[in-house]
């Protein structure tokens, strides 16, 4: 859009585009405040507890950050609902309704946090009528603020994100999650999936893993990796990064190729529909207990 002199003029934003401006400003500010707490605790000795297994870790910082996020959001939006990782671990129900709902992971990558591996993220998503409107993933250690709003693009520290667009599996770099559920897989099917995707002549270039589902997906959104899949994660691990990948031009689907179900605990994110369709048949799909 240009004026009479040929200068570019920014198109006015529609009422729908402005609808959640206040929500977005509030959640970005809260994510940064949570990040400050995480950075302060990052280099300190930590009291580490376990949840479902010896590898399912939680720290006092996880619990403190989640309480802080929910408290601040409730103050601004008292009628909204909340799903938080540590709240669910403490016995609250994981119930997604049409009511505006904030899905929160206070520290995605708790094991990284414990070991001071610098891939640790605050993840917050807002869903309204079960549709994601806002996604925020903040890597507090590297000060990377990934954000997305429905139909308004995805950004990292204000710079627009774009997936790689890779369409060929044999040219792709994949990210994969090695979560705690792998220890409960007696068939070691996760290893077979990797072998299948590496097999020549059309195998992928290689695999990487950051230890954070959200940050793995943000790397796909940035175009630094071409796809990511994982089984056994939870809605709070990828609700925020789902919209970031999609708004960066990627696709996020169920591992079998159908529409993503946030409560199914499995996800495939890719830089193109073609790449997702090549990866899906090469992996054996696990059916897990729903969130």
Residues belonging to the active site? 85, 105, 107-108, 110, 237
Among residues 166, 112, 186, the alpha carbon closest in space to that of 142 is found at: 112
Complete DSSP assignment for 1-70: -B-TTS-B-PPPPPHHHHTTHHHHHHHHHHHHHHHHHHHHHHTS---EEESSSTTSEEEHHHHHHHHHHH
Residue for token digits 């409560």?
263
Which residues are bridge partners to 57 per DSSP?
50
Distance between CA atoms of residues 213 and 229, nearest Å: 9
229 Cβ contact partners less than 8 Å away, ≥ 6 residues apart: 174, 176, 177, 255, 266, 267, 268, 269, 279, 283
Among residues 215, 240, 243, 239, the alpha carbon closest in space to that of 228 is found at: 215
Distance between CA atoms of residues 105 and 113, nearest Å: 13
137 Cβ contact partners less than 8 Å away, ≥ 6 residues apart: 108, 121, 122, 123, 146, 147, 214, 215, 218, 240, 241, 244
């Amino acid at each position: 859009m240009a004026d009479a002199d040929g200068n570019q003029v920014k198109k006015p934003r529609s009422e729908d585009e402005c609808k959640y401006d206040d929500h977005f400003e509030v959640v970005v500010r809260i994510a940064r405040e949570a990040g400050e707490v995480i950075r302060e605790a990052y280099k300190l000795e930590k009291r580490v507890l376990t949840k479902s297994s010896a590898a399912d870790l939680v720290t006092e910082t996880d619990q403190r950050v989640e309480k802080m996020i929910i408290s601040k959001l409730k103050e601004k939006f008292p009628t909204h609902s909340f799903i938080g990782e540590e709240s669910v671990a403490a016995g609250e129900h994981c119930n997604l309704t049409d009511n505006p709902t904030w899905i929160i992971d206070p520290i995605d990558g708790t094991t990284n946090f414990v070991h001071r591996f610098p891939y640790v993220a605050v993840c917050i998503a807002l869903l309204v009528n079960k549709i994601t409107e806002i996604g925020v993933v903040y890597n507090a250690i590297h000060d990377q603020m990934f954000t997305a709003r429905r139909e308004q693009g995805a950004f990292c520290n204000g710079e627009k994100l774009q997936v790689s667009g890779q369409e060929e599996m044999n040219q792709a770099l994949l990210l994969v999650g090695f979560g705690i559920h792998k220890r409960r897989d007696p068939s070691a099917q996760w290893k077979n999936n990797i072998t299948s995707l590496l097999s020549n002549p059309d195998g992928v270039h290689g695999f990487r893993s950051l230890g954070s589902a959200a940050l793995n997906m943000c790397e796909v959104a940035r175009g630094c990796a071409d796809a990511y899949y994982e089984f056994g994660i939870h809605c709070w691990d990828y609700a925020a990064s789902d919209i970031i990948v999609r708004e960066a031009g990627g696709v996020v689907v169920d591992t079998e190729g159908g529409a993503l179900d946030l409560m199914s605990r499995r996800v495939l994110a890719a830089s193109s529909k073609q790449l997702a369709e090549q990866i899906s048949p090469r992996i054996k799909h696990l059916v897990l207990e729903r969130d």
